[in-house]
Structure formats: C-alpha cells, structure tokens
Homo-oligomer: A and B are copies of this chain.
Amino acid sequence: MDALKRPRWLPITEPMPPSVPLRVGIAGLGFWGTKLARNIAESPATMLVAICDPQCERLQAAGERHAGAAAFAELSGMLAMDGLDAVVLATPEALHFSQAKAALDAGKHLLVEKPLTLSVAECAALEHGAQMRSLTLMVGHTFLYSAPVRLLRELIAAGELGEVLYCYAQRLNLGAIRNDVSAMWDLAPHDVSILHYVLGREPAMVSAQQYSLIGEAVEDIAMVNMVFPGGAVGHIHVSRLDPRKVRQLVVVGELKMAVYDDLDAEMPLKVYDKGVISAERGTQALLSDTGFARHHFELRSGDVVAPKVAGGEPLRVEIEHFAACVATGERPLTDARSGRAVVAVLEAAQISSEMGGQPTVVASEPGLAAAA
C-alpha cells in the first residue's frame, strides 16, 4: 500500500495567546451562543466581558455561569459599554445584518454566526464597513476549524484523490424545526462552506428544490445541486425531518474516494483507494466484448485508510483564531469574503428553488444573481 501524501498543516494564524486577552461580548444565548460563551470564557486568548439576550431566563442562566460578565437585554447597551473589544453574534439570521452593522459602527471587531447575512448585498456592505474601519470581520463557519475537514482539504490539495469529479453531503436529523429560517439557510451553510474549502473552488451554477412538509412558513428539506468550474458536481441534501442523524460528505476523485462522517468517532475520515479506469483515456487496453454490452471501464479497488485525525474542539480553535486575527490584523480563514461566497450560493439556490429548480448562476458580486 502506498502511504497517503500528507502535506503540512494548512496555515491558519497560530492561536498565540496575546499578552492581553481580547475582551468579548456575546449577543444571543441560545444553544449555540451558550457553547460560544463557554469557549470564550475558558480560552486564555479571550475574556467574556458581556452577555446579551432579550430573554430574561437565558440572560439570568448565563449570568450565573459567567459571574464576571456584564448582562444586557439590548445590544445597544452592550455596544455602549466600556472595555469591549469585540462582539460575537449568535442571534437569529434575520437580525445579523442590522446588528453586525451596529457593532461595526461602534468600532467592534466582529464574529458573526453563519450565514453572515441573508443576501450578498448585505454581506458586501458589512465587508466594506469592516474594511473602512480596519476591523476584523469573521463568520462562524465552524467546520473549517475541525480536524477531519482540514485533513480532507489537505489530502485533496496534495492530489491524493486526483481531480475531484463529484461530491455529496447529507445533513439530516429530526430536530430544530424553526419557522423563521428554512432548513437550507440554517443547515446548508455548513456544507457549502465545507465544499468551498475542501475543493478550493466555488460553484458557477446552482439548482435547488425546497419543500415545506409540516408547516406553511419555511421549508424543512432542501436538495441543492452545484456545478463547479471544471465540471465537478456537488449535491447537498439537508433535512430537519429525518429519523436518523446523518452528517456525511462523500468526495469522489479520479484516483481515490473519501468519506467524511462527522459522527464516526473512531474513523471520521476514510480514504478508499477505489476508482474507475477508463479505457478511452488510454490507460488500459480496451476490454473485449462481454456479451450484449460493451464495457470500456475497469473498476479498481484497494486499501481503505482512516488517517489519524487530531485537533482541538473546533469552536475553541475558531475563537482563538478570531482573537489572533484581531491581534495581528491578519485576514481570518473564514473572512467576510468567504461568508459572502456561501451566501451567494444560497441566494442562487433560493432563486432556483422559487423558479422550480432552474439552474441559476452564482453571483458573489452584489446584484448579479440571475437565472441562466
């Protein structure tokens, strides 16, 4: 068996704890915000100085866990406090834009949960705002800080899989039924950001279908098809109505194939030395006629390798990357540009789905999305 080509770790700014920890306030203390708050409090790179949520019980519960943090029911209050360097927004998607704008206007560095906003135009406006004020603006595409995803990108970049032909992702579960945001806008940002990252490319065309099965307000299921420059095909299937929890990404390359299963603690990433040899490409003599049908291809199947995956809790890595970028002024791995690229795909998918699944051009510059 040939060893995997495994290049050195892709560079992200090393989480060197700055001499003075970043003083962070968090808005939104739901499930995810609570996890963020804990990581901010525990990291030596950050200090949790303020918490904010309009809901009394949440604010009180968080206050008990984080006795040293000032508590605010209103974001404006938190933004006005002294000694606040940065804001983390874990609030509903629809509020991201206005709240992010307010935070930047107040001169705060900003980490916004995914998706950055609900439109490319809004993303571009925030991006511009942060640039003008020389503030760090980062989006919480957490999976790009998880070890299996980073290793998968490395393997692809090193040519281990050959040219990627096709990949599909499934993010399914019964849970988190919401009537303010569709499954696509809620869940697919993860998969779109992962695909952008591991492929190192963004799709040119998208088509999508969304279905609302249990309520009128928003869709619970989405299927998104993507075509990347060069011809690779991507498929994303998200659902909030599934009996099993599924978190998978399959990548089919010309040389090898990979399966990333985020729920497999033992072997989250598997590389299959499997493929098809096309006789038409000259790598193999033409197979003889096997009866009624002619086969011009030959299957190849070798070892399966589950490379060792090591790394810290993604959320902690993310938080410390944010602090390091603020300290050094470096551009985050998941900067506003990458957040905008994800929203561009979702925006095109939304248009496609409203037009019955028509292929739609992805326009990551504001105002350019259009049916093909």
Contacts and interface: CB of A to CB of B under 8 A. Distances in A.
A292 B1 contact: no
Nearest to A177: B297
A237 B304 contact: no
A21 interface: no
Nearest to A65: B42
Contact of A92 (B4, B213, B267, B292): B292
Q: Which of A53, A54, A223 has the most CB of B within 10 A?
A: A223
A82 interface: no
Contact of A304 (B91, B267, B272, B301): B267
A358 interface: yes
Number of copies: 4
Contact of A242 (B54, B244, B250, B295): B250
B223 A235 contact: yes
A273 interface: yes
Given A178-B295, A252-B242, A266-B245, A211 B233 contact: yes
A215 B297 contact: yes
A284 B244 CA distance: 24
Contacts of A293: 30, 92, 178-181
A306 B273 CA distance: 10
A200 interface: no
A215 to B, nearest CB: 6
Contacts of A150: none
A307 interface: yes
Given A297-B215, A357-B225, A272 B257 contact: no
Interface stretch (A7-15, A120-128, A274-282): A274-282
A28 interface: yes
A273 B308 contact: yes
Contacts of A213: 165-166, 231, 233, 252
Given A250-B243, A306-B303, A291 B166 contact: no
Contacts of A177: 276, 295, 297, 299
Interface string A47-76: 000000111001000000101000000000
Interface centre among A42, A274, A291, A307 (most CB of B within 10 A): A291
A29 B291 CA distance: 9
A106 interface: no
Contact of A214 (B257, B273, B297): B297
Interface of A: 1-4, 6, 28-30, 42, 53-55, 58, 65, 67, 91-92, 95, 165-166, 168, 174-175, 177-181, 207, 209, 211, 213-217, 221, 223, 225, 231, 233, 235, 237, 239, 241-245, 250, 252, 254, 257-259, 265-267, 270, 272-276, 278, 280, 289-297, 299, 301-308, 356-359, 372
Q: Which 10 A-B pairs have the closest CB atoms?
A: A243-B257, A243-B272, A177-B297, A304-B306, A92-B292, A165-B213, A55-B291, A1-B3, A180-B293, A302-B308
